[in-house]
Amino acid sequence: MGINKTRGLFIATWLAGAGIAGCGPALEHEAGDETPGTEQQALTEGAPLTTHDASCLKMQDQNTWTTYASYMTGVGPALGLPAILQDLNRAGPVLTSTNRPSAVGYKGGFRWNDGDMDTTDWVPQGMTAGVSGSTNVAIVAWHYTLSSPDKGVRVSVADISDMSLSAVNYRHLLLVRPTSAGNFTTIPEHGGGLAWYGNYLYMADTADGVRVFDLTQIREVSTSTACETAIGKVGTEWCAYGYKYVLPQVSAYVVPSTIVSPCRPKFSFLGKDTRGATDVLLSGEYCNNTGTGCPYDGTTPGLGGRLYRWPVDSTTWRLKTVSGVVTPERAWIMNEPNVQGVAPIMTTTATTSYWLSSTRYSGALFKVSTGASRTAYLSGSSQWARMPEGMHATGSGTNLWTVTEGYNSSTSPASGGRVVFFADQASLD
C-alpha cells in the first residue's frame, strides 16, 4: 500500500474552543505500570495491543451533506444500490479447489475477470460488505496508479449472495466529489479502506480523515466515446472516464490542520465493528517495516501504527459528533508492521481483539488482542493468501472476507493473483 497521491480534502478551520491541550505521544500504561512518560518507547513485533492516549485527536464534520447532494440533482435522478445490482456487467469466476489460494478455514471466493486480473492501471485495496434488500454485496475499492489523468478511485459492487454459482457478477463505479451545481471531479486518493454503514460508504483519506459516499445518490452518466477521456460536465453530457455510474461524496470528517505529528494519524485502512454497545468505525495506520517509524514511535520501524475506534450513530449512520466534532472512543498501538486491513473477531463480544491483514512476509493474517501475543497465519506457510488488503467480518460471526492486491504480477489465484475470498472465523480461532 502506498501513500495517497494528493491531499484531496481542504482543511477547515478548527472549531472555536476545541483546543488540543495535552496532545502528545505518551502511551497510557496498563495497570501496574509506572507513571506514564512522554518519551518514545521501543516496541516489540507481535506483542499485545498497547493502550494509546488518543485524547489529542479529533475530526471535524465538513457538513456538506446537503450541499453536495444538491449539486448532483442536475446530473440526473438518484439511483440506489438495488438498481445497480440489476445492471452488473462483469463476471468473476468462482474459485475451485484447484485454483484457490491456500488459507486456514477457506470457504469460498472468486477472482476478477481477465481484464481486471491483468491491469496495472488499477489495484484493489479496501473492502467492505453488507446487505442490500435480500442481496449480499461486497464492495472493493481500487486505486488508479497513473498520474495523468488521475482517475482516482473506483469501487466494484459484487453480488455474493450465491457462491455456489460459476461466477460472481459485479460492476465498477467511479467515486466522485461534487464541485458545483451539476458538476463533479475525481477522488485523488488511495482507497485503502472501506466501511459500509446504512446508506453510507466510508473511505479512508490517507492524510486527512474519512470521506463519506451515499449509496442512494448514485447517478448514471454518459458512456460516449468523448466521455472516455473526460470527467464532469462536457457540453450536454456528464462524463466519468467511460464509467456508466458515479458514486458521489456527500461529506467528510477531517483532522484539523492544528493537529500535527505525533498526534496526527494516517488513515490507511478502515473496518466495521458492531460488537459493543455502540457501533464503531475502525481506522488504522500502515507502517512499513523497512522504513521509518510511524508518527507515534520513531525508534522501531513499522511498529508504531495505531488503531482507532470512532463511534457511529446507529440512527443516522454518521459518526457521533458534539458540535460537529468526533473523538475516538479509544486507541491502541498495534505492534505489527505493514498492516493493510482490520476486522473484529466476531466469535467474541469483547472489543479488544481483532484480525489484522498485513503484507509482511508477503502476506499474513494476525490475530491480536490486548491480552496475548499475536497468532500469525503466514502465506509462506500456506496459511493465508499473498498480499491481503481490506477485510470484513460478518455480523453472524461466521465469515471473514478479504481482498488481495496481487503478488509479483501473477494472474493465477493459487499463486498470488487477485482474489476475494472468505474463511471460517472459528477455524482461525
Q: Indicate the pTM of the whole model.
A: 0.91
- Facing residues of 177 across strands? 185
The pLDDT value recorded for residue 292 is 66
Between CA 3 and CA 63 the distance in angstroms is: 26
Cell numbers linked to 366: 494476525
Residues 77 and 360: beta-carbon distance below 8 Å: no
**Which residues, given as ranges, of the chain have pLDDT below 70?**
1-41, 292-293, 298
Tell me the per-residue pLDDT of 255-280, one tens digit each, with 9 for 90 and over. Answer: 999 999 899 999 999 999 999 999 99
Quick one: pLDDT at residue 27? 34
Burial of 409 (C-beta count, 10 Å sphere; 0-12/13-18/19+): exposed
Amino acid identity of residue 309, one-letter, is: R
C-alpha cell at 402: 478479504
Per the CB < 8 A criterion, the answer to whether 125 and 405 are in contact is: yes
Angstrom distance (rounded) from CA 83 to CA 102: 35
CA-nearest of 330, 312, 257 to 50 is 330
Residue 113 three-state SS = coil
> Over the stretch 223-243, which tens digit does the pLDDT of each residue have?
999 999 999 999 999 999 999
Cis peptide before 25 (omega within 30 of 0): no
Residue 389: name the closest of 365, 423, 361 by CA: 365
- Tens of pLDDT along 340-386? 999 999 999 999 999 999 999 999 999 999 999 999 999 999 999 99
pLDDT at 429: 77
